[in-house]
Amino acid sequence: MFKKYRVLKWIGVFIMLLLTITICFVLWLRNALPAREANLEKTEVKDLPYLSQNIIPNRGKILTVVTSTNIMGKSGKSTGYELTELARAYYVFEANGFEVDIASPKGGKAPVIIDDEDMGRYDFAFLNDKVAQQKANNTIPIKDIVSENYKAIYFVGGKGTMFDFPNNETIQTIVKEYYQSNKVIGAVCHGPSALVNVQLDNGRLLLENKKVSSFTNKEELLLISDAKEIFPFLLQDKLTIQGAKFEEGAMYLEKVSHDKNLITGQNPWSTWSLAEKMIEQLGYTLKPRVKTGEENAVTVLNSYYKNDKSKAKEQIERFLLQERKVVDRVLLAKHGIIAAMRGNIGDFINLLSLVDFAKKCEGKSIKI
């Protein structure tokens, strides 16, 4: 009786301690993270010098393709294309002189996923861009596309692509034609599902011996534990089975693979770099662009994972105190939480300390 009482007592103490730690962490996190930029949601193209200044004359057209699928199989979970993966590439293409069209397997208004935490200035500008929204709400049915009209094709990610890209015969035909005629093909995150099952005229699969990146098994299963039951396949597995030389980067950080005219990216954080590599593969010098705070945070995180915390701190100081650039503290904190989810408590503590360090450096930068 008394033994049972003591056990219940210690369970209660443990729960109270856990709640106290959680509350303290939430309060610390609120204080450590920056407030959202004022009027961020009202950003327009005219507010972004990269898009509104030094306009490059028209160089042709690039086709972007998004999913038409709004539900993940029989799971009932909503899906669609990832807004950030479309918006950021769309504006890289436009800034570098290309007109952009948007297609989808079914045409019409495509389902979209908007993750508020990931939204930046370019993403909100896309939502406020009447021309871009007209295209996104009236996508061209892929079967009606005249492939000769475009110099490159870009497949936007989103979990819905896993259901309507791999077996779409029109997508397969366009990808085959573009690859064999040396036109540029880009795909990010789940977008490389468009490359699955593409057979070249020589009878071999497109993916054979190609360097490719996509959303990884680890990234998929961390967020959706039953992904194997929901999706027809795990994308990394399918690409590998079909002969790809899969290149896996750090979880939720930029990784782009470039194999001749085939350019693929691992996740949303790869979008900027992938789109710019497509422009370079087309033979053009990139229009200068100020990197976002999120991109700078990715650089810091890569420095941490490849080196150590001290090197990451040096990178933060260089960005904030010497180069007067922005570092997205929210992304640093997210990676701390991801580390905790994976049971890496050391990384969790180190990454949160980098959040705090970045905040202090920001304070110094303001005073300079």
Residue 112, strand partner residues: 81
Give the pLDDT confidence score for residue 365 in this predicted structure. 73
The pTM score is: 0.91
**Strand, helix or coil at 104?**
strand
339 to 21, 82, 135, 169, 349: CA distances (angstroms) = 17, 24, 39, 40, 9
List per-block mean pLDDT (blocks of 10 residues) for the chain, which spans 368 residues.
50 47 46 68 95 96 98 92 98 98 98 90 97 98 97 97 97 98 98 97 96 97 94 98 97 96 97 98 97 96 94 95 93 94 93 94 76
Would the CA dihedral through 259, 222, 329, 159 be positive or negative? positive
Give the pLDDT confidence score for residue 166 in this predicted structure. 97
**Strand, helix or coil at 288?**
coil
End-to-end CA distance of the chain: 66
Give the pLDDT confidence score for residue 36 in this predicted structure. 66
